[in-house]
């Protein structure tokens, strides 16, 4: 099992150097992941969904651990013709053309640990794994009102491709954001 150790910014705790561990989630982590999801995001999934994604795509289901506690997670799946979360027509076209595509489903950090670079550490490890595994594209949906998340994704090279009207249950629109991995020629530029 591979994992990364990422130091947190010194500004967080000037008296000591803090470090988090980013690793693949285990089945025992799923309840804590669900707890973070419910506390921090309006989109919640049942345990069965988390378990399905974890079991099928463990390499792309990551947790951030600090002092032995899970404080954040990133959950992704490899897209294909998956009826569970069908891709938009924009993305489906690339899958049908043989591109290797990953769908970042959810990322969250416990409120107490937000602003410490944990989301960035999770995203960095995720994108490293996609590069290692030869992926062409990573995509996600994000609420148009979530400027903090949008800035994080843009920092890692995701670009807004279009608006998905009424995407969320409460009627809010989403941005479809796409990142080309290793500058593959996919036409998103």
Stronger pLDDT, 84 or 118, i.e. the higher one: 118
Q: Where residue 35 falls among pLDDT bands split at 50, 70, 90?
A: very high
Q: Say which residue the tokens 């470090």 belong to.
A: 19
Question: Pairing between strand 159-164 and 174-180?
Answer: antiparallel
pLDDT of the residue at 6: 46
- 78 and 36 Cβ atoms separated by less than 8 Å: no
Give residue-wise pLDDT tens across range 117-168: 999 999 999 999 999 999 999 999 999 999 999 999 999 999 999 999 998 8
Q: Say if residue 173's pLDDT is above 90.
A: yes
Q: Say if residue 1's pLDDT is above 50.
A: no
| SS3 annotation, 93-146 | HHHHCCCCEEEEEEEEECHHHCCCCHHHHHHHHHHHHHHHCCCCEEEEEEECCC
Q: Say if residue 29's pLDDT is above 80.
A: yes
Q: Where residue 85 falls among pLDDT bands split at 50, 70, 90?
A: low
Mean pLDDT of the chain: 85
pLDDT of the residue at 89: 75
Structural domains present in the chain: 3-183 (3.40.630.30)
Q: Model's pTM, two decimal places?
A: 0.83
């Amino acid at each position: 099992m591979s994992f990364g150790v990422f130091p947190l910014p010194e500004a967080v705790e000037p008296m000591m150097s803090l470090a988090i561990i980013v690793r693949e989630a285990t089945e025992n982590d799923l309840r804590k992941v669900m707890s973070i999801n419910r506390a921090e995001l309006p989109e919640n999934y049942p345990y069965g969904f988390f378990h399905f994604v974890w079991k099928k795509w463990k390499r792309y289901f990551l947790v951030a651990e600090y002092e032995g506690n899970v404080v954040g997670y990133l959950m992704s799946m490899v897209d294909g013709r998956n009826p569970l979360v069908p891709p938009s027509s924009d993305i489906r076209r690339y899958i049908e053309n043989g591109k290797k595509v990953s769908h970042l489903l959810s990322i969250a950090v416990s409120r107490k640990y937000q602003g410490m670079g944990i989301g960035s550490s999770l995203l960095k490890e995720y994108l490293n794994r996609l590069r290692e595994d030869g992926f062409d594209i990573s995509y996600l949906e994000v609420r148009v009102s979530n400027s903090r998340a949008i800035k994080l994704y843009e920092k890692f090279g995701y670009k807004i491709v279009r608006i998905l009207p009424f995407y969320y249950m409460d009627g809010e629109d989403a941005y479809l954001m796409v990142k080309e991995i290793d500058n593959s020629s996919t036409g998103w530029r």
